Every structure is written in structure tokens, then in C-alpha cells.
Amino acid sequence: MAPKTEKINLSATDVTPASGAEKMSWKDYKKMKQKIGKFPKKKQEFKQNGKGKPEEKFTGLTKQQKLRHDTGAKTIDPSSMRSKLQQEKMKLTKEKFEKRIELTAKAEKRLVEDTGFLGADDGEDNMLTYSVRQKEIQQNVDLAAATKHFELKLPKFGPYHIDYTDNGRHLVIGGRKGHLASIDWQTKHLHCEQNVMEKVSDVKFLHTENFIAVAQKHYTYIYDNLGTELHCLKNMYDVARLEFLPHHFLLAGGSRNSFLTYVDVSVGKEVISFATKSGNLDVLCQNPANAIIHTGHTNGTVQLWSPNSKEPLVKILTHLSAVKGIAIDEQGTYMATTGLDRKCRIWDVRMFRQLHSYSLPFGVANVAISQKLHVACAVGNYVQVFQNMHNGSCIEPYLVHNCGGLVTDLKFVPWEDVLGIGHASGFTSMLVPGAGDPNVDTLRSNPYETKNQRKEREIKQLLDKIQPELITLNPDDINKVNEGLLELEEEERKKILYIRPVKVEYTPRHKMRSKKSGWQMEARKNMVKDKIRIERNIEKHQVENEVFGENQEDQEKKEPKKKHILDRLKL
Amino acid sequence: MKIKVISRNPNTYQRETVDQRNKIVRNFNTPADPFRAQTEYTRALNATKLERVFAKPFVASLDGHVDGVQVLAKHPSRPSTILSGSRDGQVKLWNLPSRSCIATLDAHRGLVNDISVDNSDGNSFVTVGQDSQLKYWKIPSTIDNNITTPAHSIALEGIAYGVSHLSYSSDFVTCGEDISVWKAFRETPLRSYNLGTDTIHTCRANPVEENVIVGAKSDRSIFVLDTRQDVPLKKVTMKLRPNKISWNPIEAYSFTVASEDYSLYTFDMRFMEHPIQSHQGFTSAVLDVDYSPTGQEFVAAGYDRSIRLFKSREMTSRDIYYTKRMQSVLSVLWSADSKFVMSGSNEMNIRVWKANAAEKLGPLTKREKQAFAYNSKLRETYKNHPEVRRIANHRNVPKHIFSAAREHRVIRDARTRRDLRRAKAAGLNEEESYLPATQKSMLGDAES
């Protein structure tokens, strides 16, 4: 036996012994590394200062800054869990939450703008914010903001439909009598104005302000920012509402004869057009978080459509009467619907569940949701804006405005405290303090975009164009493994294993009377055996056909079926 | 009444003059983009398609030989110099950056069997030929057609089929009827190992372990030999002839064998009962193999007029290179900077290919580097998505390879079925009778 030697030599003149290095245990290795300093030591408890508490890391955040984002992580008590494992798990969860608070607070410190608000002064009692008129607001805000409230009186060509670009900089208005105008509404610079001499049902910006889709009496047309007609989309016929899906470059149109049409505007091809068989599609909006089209119907349902299915993905009974307006917030969490039953309902679109319901005056029509979840409802000639409708704490309108004409279209301007209203006697830009997100991430959407930046964005957007096949209720599906299908396949395979051809045992009864010779007996035996075997085989084939489909090669010959990218996710 | 409405100062967002850059204002609290997964998938798909679009591996052809290129060798210390020996006895030295021949030597009568460059200082190389000659050549510091005669030549008793320098040394071994260890400028070998009557047609010295040699004999056996010992360490026999062998330069214990049975096999020197991995894809005999200096990949030459690149532990090839005019490939080489592979073929050409078919050569700007890195990461992340995998794995192959591969698949399936039935008839169950391809390739008479 070799003498027991000291295994670790930590001096600088460490030499491997001539007999070769001895195998070191993991424990010793760790110890050695720790001494050298490469292996991180376990965190030691701070016990020097006697309090037994580690000193708090300096984060540069005040308590108040953190408190603003606290969701109650401090109240989590890991020691309340029974098992050690659960305690550890809980500890990790708590750390994660605390980290989140810190990160959010840190990010907030870098923000440059503050959210808008409207409320009583410190000394005053509760004030009715909805009694504040737009003029008063205009007088009390700075000059630049005051110019954001304006009215365009165009009673001859109304009622108007409106649309803003994604960065909220440009506005297009289209009057029923054919008036079409595109404006940079902040500088009040008019890009173009013309009369298309036809009924205009809806207007929509495509990915930039240079393209405007207009649903006219028969067809849908695309104009550029100077008002030149670029295309006539004859396959979008008699369209009542238009929607543009910017990630997919799809223009979706709901027509009065119940057809829903998707056109890829980057290549100019129709993706799909089908009859929804549910009447006039004049209440239509998109879910900006998953590019699903929501349509409202006279029977009170809201139906969800994707270009990949001719049947609605989901049907929700939202109202007991006709649906008049739908709006979905940017994150795809809340949906607001209004109906003829004078109700405004707030839904969780992810679960298709109603959260809250509010009764409004008669004449409820359009609805819109802002970035900060303010809800605007059109009620006859009035527009009522509500705060906190999504959490159920809303008891009165936040702001009310009389437009002087029947309201036909409502759009909140992204990144601004402004609500655009299209109505029978023109267009109103209404100030709604606190409606928009004040802090822009200019890499995603830039209201101060230059021409070069716009060109670059256009190209990047085109490179990242998502194929229409990928439109699903949950856009994260693409990164999931279809475990259900795998299990199902395995089970089916197992089934077949049990229906193997069984060895057929059959011995004919020996009959004394029969005078059949040996080979005759053998033939009879084989006949019976074959019969049983054939029956068994037929049964087996049937099961196989059920599981694998018909003989795969035959089927492919019949119709070479194109495989869809997301087929692997189907059960 | 307290009131505030968003009112931005445009100066925070806009540049002051056109010469300045556009300002970028971030909001790090914006919620995540709901389409990020799909956008990333789209980018990954596009990156994969672009990779296939730009896959143009052929770089250059070095012509000058007047017979098939039998052997290629690289210089241990000069990455830009390679040596080639042809079937008419000529040896040529090439300069890769200028793609020119820098020396031509009429070295042998008949085939040049093998070339090996000195591993200690790289100032000499040894050639052996079918004319039973061993020639020793000096390499001057600048080569410009200034090598004419060998520094030393020895007439051997039998034909030497292979020569290989030991690592970090100017000693070398030759193989033929026996294995001999030589010192430079000595008329007789230091030591000879007689391994039986069968000819030893290839031998390679381990690039890391100084005394270990692997070789293959014409009785289809592979042996490992330590030059400090008298008898070989290990010997195993394959079912078909191993043609060439290459050591993995990083894992000193593993080597890959190019076999006559259309496959390559990677062995672990310590467990030689059967290979640890088989590499398939060729539709004809594999004639040569060479490892990349990283040890992660190797290149193999096929009699079916193609060369294939393999990851060292993967069964299928990651790429296949061919041209219309390339005939059966006799020799391959992976360049010392690991960026190129060379192939010497029967129709007298040496072809230079990129090791990564879609790689952009030449200096890259920072943004290009970032874009390539991002794209390769995307391809890696999404490689198992069916659509991405289909595009990344698809290769158009010449018709003869395509149809041969199909035929071989049918044959292989039939053999599997036959074996199963035989096992069943013998009363064995499926699991007992199953043999992996690595074990099927061996005769099962391992000695050690």
C-alpha cells in the first residue's frame, strides 16, 4: 500500500509527483480552488455587525420610488411553507419579485416625460372632472398642448371616419360624401385633400403615412400621401370596415355581404377571401397583440377570425342585442364592447370572460381604448370617456364632450393625450389628460421620425414580415412542443401492437367416417386457417388506416397536401 | 384644478442639425412585443434561406499535375504551403494565397505513395514511392523552384506505402512489409516491427502522443503500436478494408478510419472492440480522411466523386461538395487555418473549398460580424423547427449519388429485415439480436 500523502500542495512550486497525479476527490478540489480563489465561496451570512442582517445594496433608488411598483413581494413569507423544497422555491420567487420591482423602478428613473392628469387642487373638495369643458382644459395647459384640441367643421361631407398612423403623427379623415384628407395634425400641415366622388365607408393608413386604403362604394382603393390613386383592389368589394395588420402587411376588409378578405399589401396578392355567413361586417377591429380580427354581429356575438380558418376561432355571446362597437387594448388583455342594450362590457380576451359591465345612456355606438386603458364611448352626439373601467372602480365618466353631430368613429392617438372623433359635422380632436403613454420607445415607434428613418423602418418591417399562416390566438405557440400530439401518437402506435396477426391453431376433428385422404384433410385445415387469418388482417388494416390514415403513399398520390407550418401543433 | 397634458419638447427627440445623428429615446418599461417569437422565427427562417443562397464553397483549382493526385500533405508551421504527390511520381509544392505552384520535383518513378513533413522544425520532408525509394528533401526558407534534387535517398528492400513523422520530432515511420522507425539521414531504420505477412498500406503517427502509431494492414486489420514497445498494443479486424486513417489532433485517443464499406468509423484507442461512431452518407468507397485542426470536424474523400464534411461525433455529414468535372477523389486535406479544405482528384486537379460553404471571405466590418453572429445564433436556436431543418439539411446531389443512395437504403432495409427474420427463426427476440452499425462493421476478434 502506498503511504498516505498530502494531496493538495498549494505552494507556488507545485509539482506533480513523479508517480503521476493522484485522483483528487471533488471535495478536495473544491477546497483547493476556494483557497486559490477561483471557486466562488458560498455566500456567508453577515454576522459581523451583530444585527444578523445583510446591509442593503446601494441601488440609487429611494423607498418611494420602489414603493410605486411594489406588488406586495415583502409579505411573502417562505418559512410558512411546509417542506424545505417549497421554502426554497418560495425564496426564489420572492427574490424574483423583488428584483422586478427594482428593475422597473430603475427603468422608470430614466423616463423623460410624465403622465397627464386632471384633478382637484389640494385644498378643493372632490370635483366633477366631467364638468370640465375642453375650452377650460385648453386654457389651463401650455400652448403646445392647447393646439392639440381643434375642430374641423365639415358638415357637408360627413359623417367622417378617421385613422392615425402607428406613431400617432398623421391623420386621415374620410367623409361619407367622398371627402378625403390626410394631415400632419400636430403641425396642421395638409398632405392632400380631394373628393373621390364616391361614398367612402372607411379609411386606413397602411404601414406608413404614404399609403392610405379607402373603402369606397364598390371597391377598395389605395392612395398615396399626395392623393394619387395607386391601386384599386377589386377583390375587396363593398367593404364596410378596414383593418391593417402591420406585422403581417395584411389589409383586412369586412364587407357588407359578410365576406372577410385579407390582402397582402407587400406583394399585392389576396391571401384569402371567404363568406363569414354572419351578415354585415360593419363592426370590426383587430387584436393588436395577436392579429386576430374581431367582428361584432347583430345577434350579440363577437366572432374571432384568422386567415387560416373559414370558421370563427371563437364565438362569444357578448350582448343580448346587436353589438355596436368593439375595442381591444394594445396588450391584447382587455376588450370593450358596446351593444344596443346600452351596456359597455369589459372582457378579458385571453380567457373570453366578462370582467365588468356598465350601463350607459341610450344611443351607445363606437368604443375605443387608450394606451393607459381609458375607454371612450360614443353616445349619440356625445363622447364619454371613462377611467379605470377595466378594474371595476369606475362610477362616473371622466370627461364628456358634445360634438354637435352623430359620432361615427373614435380613435385614441398613440403617445398623446388626444382622442380623435369623426362625426356627422366634421372632426374633433379632444384632449383627454392621462390617456396616452407619455414615454415613447423611439426604436419601436417614433412620432418624430425623419424621412430616412421611415425608409429604414419600412425595409426592416418588410424583412420581418410574419407569414399569415402564423396568425393564431397565442403568438407564442411557435416556440412550443406539441406534447399532446406526441402522446396521442404513441398511444395509437401501442394499439396496433396488440392487433398483431395471431398464430392460428386449428386441428380438424378426426372423423372416423370420413374417408378423406391426408392431403384433403390438410387442404381443409389450411382453408379454415386462411379464413381466420384474413379476417384478422382485415381488422388490423382497418385499425392501421384509422391511425395512420389510409395507405400514405396512395393518399399522397390522390392529393399532394401542403403541410402547414403550424400543423405540428394540431391535435 | 390641477391639469397636465403630454407636451413634448421636440428638441429631446430631434437632432439639431442634419449632420448629427438621430436621437434615440428609450423606454425600458414598455411591455414586451407580443410578436417577438414569431418575428424571431421569421428571421431564423430567412437566415437559413440566406445561408443556403450564399453557399458557394468552391474557391479555386490548382492545376499543374499531369496525373491523378494521390496524396496531399500540409506543412506543420507554414499554413500557406501544401504539398501534393501525383501518380506519375511528381511532387509539387503550392502557395495557397497566390494559388501558384512554387516547386515541382520529379521525385519517383511510378506513384508517390506518401509525403510527410518534418514535425520538429519543418525544414524537410520525406517522400516514399512505388519505386521502393525513400527520399529526403530539404525545404529552403523561401521556396521558388529552388528544390531540384533530394538531400538524401535510400533504396528500400520493399515498397513503402506510407510515411508519417512522429510528433514534435524529425523521426519518422514508414510502412510496407513492416513498420520501420527512422532517424533522418540514416541508411537503416532504428527499429523494425514485423507484423506478419500482410502488407501495411497506411500508418499515421499520433500528433500528440509522441510514440503512438496507428496503421492498417491488407488483412483488414487496424493496429495501434507504441514505438517504445516490441509488439503492437492492440489489433482489431474490420469486415471490409480500412483505406486511410486520421488522428483527431485534439482528442489524442480517437482516430477516424475511411473504410471500403462506404462509411467512416471513429475509434477510441482505449476501447477498440468496436468503433464509437459510424459516419455514413457516401455511396462508394471512402479513400481518404483528414481532421480539422480544431478536432471538431473532418473531411472525407469518396470514390463517388464527392467530398463530405462531418462533425466528429455525428453520423450524417453536414455538407457535401462536388462539381460536374471532379472525378473520384483520392486525397483530401483540411487546411491548417481550418478555413479551407483541399481535394485532390483523379482528373489531376487540386480543388480548394471553403470549410463553411456560406462563409464570407475577407475582412468583415463590425456590423457584418454582428449580423453573421446573430444569424448563426438564430439558426442554432431554431434548427429543430421542421421548416428550418428542411431548408438547412436539403442538398441537391448529382443524380448518380441520389439514385445510389436510394438503392443502398433499399438494400440496407432488406438486410435489416433479413437479420430480424433470421433472429426470429433462431428463437432470439428482437432486442437480443439487434446489433448497432458500429458493431456490425467488426469481425469481433479484438486482441490486446
Does A17 score more than 50 pLDDT?
A: no
Query: Quick check: helix, strand or coil at residue A168?
Result: coil
Average pLDDT of every residue of chain A: 86
- Which residue of chain B is at minimal alpha-carbon distance from A126? B1
Q: Is the pLDDT of residue B396 over 90?
A: yes
- Per-residue pLDDT of A351-404, as tens digits, reads 999 999 999 988 889 999 999 999 999 999 999 999 999 998 888 999 999 999
| Whether residue A418 has pLDDT greater than 70 | yes
Other C-beta atoms within 10 Å of A3: how many?
4
pLDDT category of residue A481 using cuts at 50, 70 and 90: confident
Cell 467530398 appears where?
Answer: B307
Is there a domain that residue B328 lies in? yes
Residue B15 belongs to some domain of the structure: no
At B67, the amino acid letter reads D
Distance from CA of B18 to the nearest CA of A (A): 10
pLDDT for A543: 76
Q: Is the pLDDT of residue A51 over 80?
A: no
The amino acid sitting at A130 is Y
Shared-domain flag, residues B314 and B418:
no
Tell me if chain A has a CB within 8 Å of the CB of B324. Answer: no
Give the residue-averaged pLDDT of B65-88: 94
Beta-carbon pairs below 8 A across chains A and B = 133
Give the whole-angstrom CA distance, residue A464 versus residue A444. Answer: 13
Rounded Cα distance between A180 and A196, Å, is: 7
Query: Cα separations (Å) of B123 from B76, B138, B244, B408?
Result: 10, 6, 26, 47
What sign for the dihedral angle of Cα A256, A262, A263, A269? Answer: negative
The answer to whether the CB atoms of B5 and A116 lie below 8 A apart is: yes
Strand partners, B268: B254, B271
* CATH number belonging to the domain at A129-470, selected among 3.40.50.970, 2.130.10.10, 3.40.50.300, 3.20.20.240: 2.130.10.10
| Residue ranges making up the domain that contains B420 | 399-438
Residues near A314 by beta carbon (within 8 Å), at least 6 away in sequence: A303, A304, A352, A473
pLDDT for the residue numbered A446: 93
- Whether the CB of B367 is below 8 Å from some CB of chain A: the reply is no
Q: Provide the residue type at A285 as one letter.
A: C
What is the residue whose three cell numbers read 494531496?
A7
Q: Any CB–CB contact under 8 A between B168 and chain A? A: no
Same domain, B140 and B213: yes
Residue type, A309: S
Kind and range of the H or E run holding B224: strand B221-226
Q: Closest approach of chain A CAs to the CA of B5, in angstroms?
A: 4
Optimal mutation site among B14, B27, B389, interface A, most CBs of chain A within 10 A? B27
Residue A461 has pLDDT above 90, yes or no: yes
Q: Does the beta-carbon distance from B7 to A436 stay under 8 Å?
A: no
Main-chain phi, psi angles of B148, to 5 degrees? -125, -45
How far is it, in rounded angstroms, from Cα A459 to Cα A461? Answer: 5
Q: Which helix (H) or strand (E) segment is A458 a member of? A: helix A451-463
Residues of B in contact with A127 (CB under 8 A): 1
Q: Is the distance from CB of A237 to CB of A231 less than 8 angstroms?
A: no
Of the candidates A108, A136, A431, the beta carbon closest to that of B29 is on A108
In this prediction, what percent of chain B has a pLDDT beyond 70? 99
Contact A444, A400 (CB under 8 A): no
Q: Flag whether B113 is in a domain.
A: yes
Calculate the alpha carbon distances from B34 to A171, A292, A471, B30, B37 in Å: 26, 13, 12, 11, 8
For every residue of A106-163, DSSP letters joined together read: HHHHT------EEE--SSS----GGG--HHHHHHHS-HHHHTT-EEEE-TTT-SEEEE
**pLDDT of B367-376, one tens digit each?**
999 999 999 9
Interface test with B, best of A432, A466, A473, A568 (most B CBs within 10 A): A466
Write the CB contacts of B438 (distance below 8 Å, at least 6 apart in sequence): B265, B274, B275, B276, B277, B278
> How is residue A318 annotated by DSSP?
-
> Rounded distance, CA A251 to CA A256, Å?
16
Element (H, E) at B42: helix B36-53
Say if B255 falls within a structural domain.
yes
Q: What would the mean pLDDT of B432-447 be, rounded to a whole number? A: 80
Report the gap between the CA of A541 and the closest CA in chain B (Å): 21
Q: Which residues of A83-99 are buried (b: 16+ CB within 10 A; e: fewer)?
A: eeeeeeebeeebeebee
Q: Tell me: do B301 and B424 sit in the same domain.
A: no
* pLDDT of A52: 47
pLDDT above 90 for B377: yes
Across residues B264-274, what is the average pLDDT?
A: 93
The residue of chain B with its CA nearest to that of A565 is B387
Interface contact A117-B2, CB threshold 8 A:
yes
Point out the residue among A144, A437, A453 whose CB comes nearest to the CB of B22: A453
Tell me if B331 sits within 8 A of B288, measured CB to CB.
yes
Comparing alpha-carbon positions, the chain B residue that sits nearest to A434 is: B5
The partner residues of A117 in beta bridges, in order of sequence, read B4
Residues B262, B169 share a domain = yes
Residue B390 lies in a domain: no
Instruction: Give A187 to chain B, closest Cα distance, Å.
Output: 12
Instruction: Specify burial of residue A351 (Cβ count, 10 A radius: 0-12, 13-18, 19+).
Output: exposed
Backbone angles phi, psi at A174, to 5 degrees: -135, 120
Q: Which residue has the cell 388626444?
A: A418
Whole-Å CA distances, B351 to B76, B94, B245: 20, 12, 21
Q: Is residue B379 part of a domain?
A: no
Q: Does a structural domain hold residue B374?
A: no
pLDDT at A235 over 70: yes
Contact across the interface for B33 and A444, Cβ inside 8 Å: yes
Helix (H, G, I), strand (E, B) or coil at A403: coil
Report chain A residues whose CB lies below 8 A from the CB of B387.
565
Find, in chain B, the residue whose alpha carbon is nearest to that of A119. B2
Mean local confidence (pLDDT), B72-93 = 94
List all residues 6 or more positions away from B60 whose beta carbon is below 8 Å from its beta carbon. Answer: B99, B351, B352
Interface test with A, best of B9, B38, B374 (most A CBs within 10 A): B38
Mind listing the pLDDT tens digit for each residue in A243-283?
Answer: 999 999 999 999 999 999 999 999 999 999 999 999 999 99
Q: Which residue of A has its CA nearest to B11?
A: A448
Nearest by CB to B22, from A142, A288, A450: name it. A450
Best A126, A147, A247 member to test B by mutation, with max B CBs in 10 Å, is: A247
Q: What pLDDT is attached to residue B114?
A: 96
Nearest-angstrom CA–CA distance, B255 and B290: 10
Q: What is the pLDDT of residue A536?
A: 79
In this structure, the answer to whether residues B288 and B168 fall within a common structural domain is yes
Three-state secondary-structure class, residue A496 = helix
Instruction: Give residue A73's pLDDT band: very low, low, confident or very high (50, 70, 90).
Output: confident
B216 and B316 share one domain: yes
The verdict on B384 touching A (C-beta cutoff 8 Å) is no
Chain B residues with CB-CB distance to A124 below 8 A = 1
Give percent of chain A with pLDDT exceeding 90: 60
User: Which one of A65, A102, A113, A462 makes the best mutation probe of the B interface by having the most chain B beta carbons within 10 Å?
Assistant: A113
Asked if the model's pLDDT at residue B316 lies above 80, the reply is yes
Q: Residue A15: its pLDDT value, please? A: 41
Out of B354, B369, B386, a domain closes at: B354
A20 band by pLDDT with thresholds 50, 70 and 90: very low
Give the integer Cα–Cα distance in Å for A433 and B22: 29
Tell me if A112 and B12 make a contact (CB, 8 A cut-off): yes
Q: What is the pLDDT of residue A558?
A: 59
Residue B152 scores a pLDDT above 70: yes
What is the maximum alpha-carbon separation in chain B?
Answer: 112
Task: Say how many domains are in chain B.
Answer: 2
**In the structure grid, which three cell numbers stand for residue A428, read together?**
374633433
* pLDDT band (50, 70, 90) for residue A312: very high
User: Three-state SS for A501?
Assistant: coil
Cα A419 from chain centroid (whole Å): 23
Contact between residue A57 and residue A82 where contact means Cβ atoms under 8 Å apart: no
Of B300, B333, B354, which residue is a domain's last? B354
Cα atoms in the Cβ-side hemisphere of radius 13 Å centred on A435:
24
What is the rounded distance in angstroms from the CA atom of residue B246 to the CA atom of residue A246?
A: 55
Of chain A, the end-to-end C-alpha distance in Å amounts to 65
Q: Per-domain residue ranges for chain A?
A: 59-110, 129-470, 482-569
Measured distance CA(B436)–CA(A304) in Å, rounded: 53
- Which whole number is the average pLDDT over B189-194? 91
Q: Kindly indicate the confidence band of residue A6, based on its pLDDT and cuts at 50, 70 and 90.
A: very low
Averaged pLDDT, B32-58:
95
B46 within domain boundaries: no
A13 CB-contact burial (10 Å; exposed 0-12 / middle 13-18 / buried 19+):
exposed
The SS3 call for residue A487 is helix
Asked if pLDDT for residue A562 goes beyond 80, the answer is: no
**What's the grid cell of residue B287?**
479513400
**Single-letter amino acid, residue A240:** A
Q: Examine the domain organization and report whether B125 and B259 are in the same domain.
A: yes
Contacting residues of A for B38, CB less than 8 Å apart: 247, 466, 470, 475, 478
* Summary mean pLDDT of chain B: 92
